[in-house]
Amino acid sequence: MNVLIDNREVFLEGFKNTGILFIFSAFFSLILGTIVAGMRVSPAPAMRAAGTFYVNAVRNTPLTLILAFFALGYPKLGLPDINFMNAAIIGLSLYTATYVSEAIRSGINTVSVGQSEAARAIGLPFMQTLSLIVLPQAFRSVVPPLFSVFIALLKNTTVAAGFSVIEAGSIRSTLSDLGEPLLPGLLWVALIFVVLVLGILSPLQRYLEKKWRVAR
């Protein structure tokens, strides 16, 4: 307990930045993943090919390599500078969006084909059919896999510690520099992650599942 109390500023700063990374990355990956899922079920072959290429290319690239590109390769492209925190958010969003896309696409496939056909019969174009009819139903069925993706994202934020982002993954090195025992510090970090998952994300998942199950 002394390690946590004596270094509470270190833990607070680390988990505050972890929260920032998680919230923004989850938001952007949900938007991008939904767009890519729509591309994957599009009637246009070029859109399907582009969505499939993005998912296969990024999902099969290690997250560490993606973050390394934004931390080390991006500055050499002559593009506007971004700080390490924003670079980590971009990398995590691009990577997580591939898993979000596949989760949403599986939900789209659960929606009856007859509903899409009925929408086309009354003259709705593909985008309106997708946004007004298919996606609202698809999201109801993909709450568990989506939250599994976001739980993985929460844990993946620790990879950013290797690229000068001060978050929960960097607490170990900070405690080492302060001469604190590492094992108690690591156990506290692990415990706080368990609390975040079991105390926040899991109850939120159950709430959304219950709410949307009743809405049906």
pLDDT in tens, 43-55: 889 999 999 999 9
Say which CATH number the domain at 30 has: 1.10.3720.10
Q: Return the SS3 of 62.
A: coil
Token pair 């080492």 in the structure block, residue:
176
Query: How high is the mean pLDDT of the chain?
Result: 84
Amino acid identity of residue 12, one-letter, is: L
Residues 150-160 have pLDDT tens digits of 999 998 888 88
What does each C-alpha distance from 48 to 17, 41, 111 come to in angstroms?
36, 6, 19
Asked whether residue 205 is domain-assigned, the answer is: no
Summarised one tens digit per residue, pLDDT across range 112-145 is 878 777 878 887 888 888 888 888 888 888 888 8
| Alpha-carbon span 96 to 23, nearest angstrom | 12
| Domain membership flag for residue 134 | yes
What is the tens place of the pLDDT at every residue in 153-212?
998 888 887 766 776 777 777 777 667 777 777 788 788 888 888 888 888 888 888 877
Higher-pLDDT residue of 106 and 214 is: 106
Asked whether residue 98 is assigned to any structural domain, the reply reads yes
Q: Is the pLDDT of residue 214 over 70?
A: no
CA-CA distances (angstroms) from residue 75 to 58, 70, 94, 176? 20, 7, 18, 30
pLDDT tier at 6, thresholds 50, 70, 90: low
Alpha helices in the chain (DSSP H): 2-6, 8-40, 45-59, 63-68, 84-108, 113-121, 126-129, 135-141, 143-156, 171-177, 182-196, 202-215
- Structure confidence at residue 1 (pLDDT): 66
Angstrom distances, CA of residue 126 to CA of 32, 139, 151, 206? 18, 18, 32, 32
For residues 103 and 145, is the Cβ–Cβ distance under 8 A? yes
In this predicted structure, what is the pLDDT of residue 142? 87
Any domain includes 125: yes
Q: Which residue segment(s) compose the domain that 58 sits in?
A: 18-165
E-state strands within the chain: none
The pLDDT tens digits for 52-77 are 999 999 999 999 899 888 888 887 88
Report the 10 Å Cβ neighbour count for 119.
18
- Around 15, how many Cα atoms within 13 Å sit in the side-chain half-sphere? 16
Say if 42 falls within a structural domain: yes
Continuous H helices in 41-82: 45-59, 63-68
Does 170 reside within a domain? no
Give me the number of domains the chain comprises. 1
Q: What is the pLDDT of residue 216?
A: 47
How confident is the model at residue 171, as a pLDDT?
Answer: 73
Q: Which residue has the tokens 């939250």?
A: 147
Distance from first CA to last CA of the chain, Å, rounded?
47
pLDDT at residue number 18: 87
- 62's CB contacts (< 8 A; 6+ apart) are none
Residue 187 lies in a domain: no
Residue 211 lies in a domain: no
Residue type at 147? Answer: F
